[in-house]
Structure 1
């Protein structure tokens, strides 16, 4: 699975244009990334696509030394489930 980062559109995407999964983010403040939306086409759900997008987005945040907010319910749940791995990234 190849995930692409489109910084201009503030999103991570995977898949063909007509069946693209995405993790969108905003940069609301200096040093902060807010994951705002996750979408996976219905025919790709349950295959770990959203988890891979989450891992890629969080790895990017770590690499860029950004604190993480999770306005997206999926991302909030994902970070909660993997709290030990990502606790250091969370914005207060």
Structure 2
């Protein structure tokens, strides 16, 4: 089955998912050896379609490729990672105490 959703695109400040005039995005900043994710916006038009998940996964893939620590300051990134202990090793050690695995 072909995925009907377009790809996430990385710009110099954010990861974007765009359909027509609707844009979902996850902002990021590079600092030293880390990528900081401060803010994510997913419009109601994309609700329930997995767009937020795709934005997070694109950001995490970028961090892997660039060998950067992840600093999930955005509540959406934080919640996504908190539910997946296998991702904790990507999070900067200073920020790991705030992660909690959820059952």
TM-score normalised according to structure 2 size = 0.80
Q: How does 1:5-84 map to 2 (within 5 A)?
A: 5-7=10-12, 10-16=13-19, 18-27=21-30, 29-84=31-86
Name segments (4+ residues, structure 1) moved above 6 Å: none
1:2 aligned to 2:42?
A: no
Give the CA RMSD over aligned residues.
1.1
Distance 2:14 2:82 in 1: 21
SS at match of 2:21: helix
Residue 81 of structure 1, CA deviation: 1.0
Distance 2:42 2:91 in 1: 24
Query: Which structure's relative contact order is higher, taking Cα pairs within 8 Å and 6+ residues apart?
Result: 1
Show structure 2 runs of 5+ residues with no match: 1-5, 94-103
Number of equivalences: 88
TM-score normalised according to structure 1 size = 0.89
Show structure 1 runs of 5+ residues with no match: none
